[in-house]
Amino acid sequence: MSASIYLTLPLLVILLVLQVTVLPYIELLGVAPQLLFLVPVVWGLFYGLQQGLIWAFIAGILIDLFSAGPLGATSLAFMAAVSAAVYAKRLIPQEHFLIPAALGAIASLVFWLVYILLLRILVPFMIDSLDFLSIAGLTNTPGAQGLIGQVARNYGLSGSMGNLVLRSTVLHSLLMIPIYWVVTTLDRLLRPKSVEI
Amino acid sequence: MTLAVLVGATILLLVLDTTGSLDGVFNFFEDPISGVMGWTTVRTEALVDTITGPDDIQDARAQIVSLQSQVDALQRENEQLREIEGEFRLLQDLFNRARESPEFQRLTASIIGYDTSPLFRSIILDKGANDGVHVGMPVESARGLVGQVYRTSGHSAMVILITDNISSIPARLGTSRATGIVRGGGLGGAMTMDWIDLESQIDVGEVVLTSGLGGRFPEDMVIGRIIEVERYEADLFQRATVQPAVDFDSLEMVFVITDFRDIDTSIFDSIPDDLSSGQ
């Protein structure tokens, strides 16, 4: 397990660099793949909920460090997604190569629902606290409050948001299959072989 | 006896040849032989070519490899020159932009990354707090306003783009001088200018500029152009859709405006005597 941890932390950092620099140019189905989301989900499915939550937290923080969103929102959403995937796996005991895809879809949907909900709640407070934003100086006026309300309402399951969630869910469920296979192979290579005494 | 006959015949041939009496005999024998010789020579040369051929093919192959490597090198050089040309044009545009408003202090920065969340529109610059970049500073490109510095670290800064949902900029129209607030459309939405006085007559195509109100942005920076106007008599304000001047997909370098002279609002800092005495 410790060897796997030493492998995963640099892996997350490498994936973060790819996420910020390369992946925005490689959009599949019109959306950039979130590899930093898929890795904790797969990790949780392999090593259990607790391990998955730890990596979801770290990956979420790394994502939020390079996003304009509130710090911690992605971590919370990732952790909810990992929990959903791990619990769903317990309900689907049989092994099939499409199971990871289904779990990926569940995790992706839960992530987006939680993330959008968090943004809707947190963004008005975020705008209020950022005094450099031009409207911040006017936040006590009814007009500015209305504007902030409009900003928050844009984080809802509208047409374009629903479209993004759908495309992202399909993409991540498809990507789960090769990533699950890679992690399975790595796990087989790195896990210490059991010896009967 | 035989020797005498052969010597006699030879002498006879010599005499006949010398006198030119054997031309017909030569033609009779030479023509078919020369034909055979020509045929043989062609085949012999072909055979020689075949035998000596591999050396030439190897030379040719070596030449092809050499020429191909030269072509590759020239193509690389060409690509580098094109890139330099593109960079030159970019810098020339930025330089021209800087020349238009020399009173601003600017810092050139390159874009090194994009927001990790598809719900936010921000870019990451290669200049940070150590370079003098601070939160709230406006960022522009050669074509117009890009956004505002949102977060900084020692060597990088995150800029929230004007098209992001949380961006709001006090703006003014170029021709009608109507004021309002330009808001980013966020995911799938267009940038809009809200709170425009209903009585203002605004036209499609008008240029949208920063008004400078609030002191966060300099005056008269280009934001975009009006492409649609929504005006309803029942409303208090009218609304317009704005096309950003900047093509955010092709942005490579930007200016961070580190210092500009904002609108002087110090007159409002102190309460006039007649008002203060009345309180």
**For chain A, which residues make up each domain, given as ranges?**
2-119+172-190
Residue B194 is predicted with a pLDDT of 86
How far is Cα B275 from Cα B102, in angstroms, rounded to an integer? Answer: 40
The residues of B whose Cβ lies within 8 A of any Cβ of A are 112-122, 124, 135-136, 148, 150-151, 158, 160, 164-170, 181, 183, 186-189, 194-195, 214, 216-217
Residue A48 is predicted with a pLDDT of 87
Total-model pTM: 0.71
Give the confidence band of B36 by pLDDT, cuts at 50, 70, 90: low
Pick the more confident residue, A125 or A141: A125
Pick the more confident residue, B52 or A100: A100
Pick the more confident residue, B189 or B222: B222
| DSSP H stretches of helix in B145-265 | none
| CA angle in degrees (0–180, nearest 5) for B54-B60-B65 | 125
Can you tell me the mean pLDDT for A171-182? Answer: 88
With 90 as the cut, is the pLDDT of residue A111 above it? yes
Give the confidence band of A84 by pLDDT, cuts at 50, 70, 90: very high
Residue A1 is predicted with a pLDDT of 47
Query: Which of B117, B153, B193 should one mutate to test binding to chain A, selecting the residue with the greatest count of A CBs within 10 A?
Result: B117
Cβ separation A32–B118 shorter than 8 A: yes
Can you tell me the mean pLDDT for B195-209? Answer: 88
| DSSP H stretches of helix in B101-178 | none
With 50 as the cut, is the pLDDT of residue B121 above it? yes
Pick the more confident residue, B43 or B274: B43
Give the confidence band of A105 by pLDDT, cuts at 50, 70, 90: very high
| Residue for token pair 């006699």 | B8
Give the confidence band of B24 by pLDDT, cuts at 50, 70, 90: confident
Nearest to B214 among A134, A155, A158 (CB): A134
Which domains does chain B possess? Answer: 2-53 (no CATH), 106-260 (2.40.10.340)
Residue A129 is predicted with a pLDDT of 65
Sort B54 into a burial class: Cβ within 10 Å, 0-12 / 13-18 / 19+.
Answer: exposed
Can you tell me the mean pLDDT for B210-239? Answer: 86
- Using the Cβ of A155 and the Cβ atoms of chain B, whether some distance falls under 8 Å is answered with yes
The one-character DSSP state at B167 is -
Give the 3-state secondary structure of chain A.
Answer: CHHHHHHHHHHHHHHHHHHHHCHHHCCECCECCCHHHHHHHHHHHHHCHHHHHHHHHHHHHHHHHCCCCCCCHHHHHHHHHHHHHHHHHHHCCCCCCCHHHHHHHHHHHHHHHHHHHHHHHHHHHHHHHCCCCHHHHHCCCHHHHHHHHHHHHCCCCCHHHHHHHHHHHHHHHHHHHHHHHHHHHHHHHHCCCCCCC
With 80 as the cut, is the pLDDT of residue A83 above it? yes
Can you tell me the mean pLDDT for B267-272? Answer: 65
Q: Which residue of A has its CA nearest to B151?
A: A68
Q: Of A124, A123, A119, give the one whose Cα is nearest residue A76.
A: A119
Q: What is the dihedral of CA B67, B73, B76, B82, to 10 degrees?
A: -90
Residue B279 is predicted with a pLDDT of 47
Residue B4 is predicted with a pLDDT of 76
With 50 as the cut, is the pLDDT of residue B22 above it? yes
Reported as half-sphere exposure (CB side, CA atoms, 13 A), residue A22 has a value of 6
Q: At what angle do helices A2-21 and A159-190 cross, to 10 degrees?
A: 140
Residues 6+ apart with CB under 8 A from A113: none
Collapsing DSSP states into helix, strand and coil, what is residue B221? coil
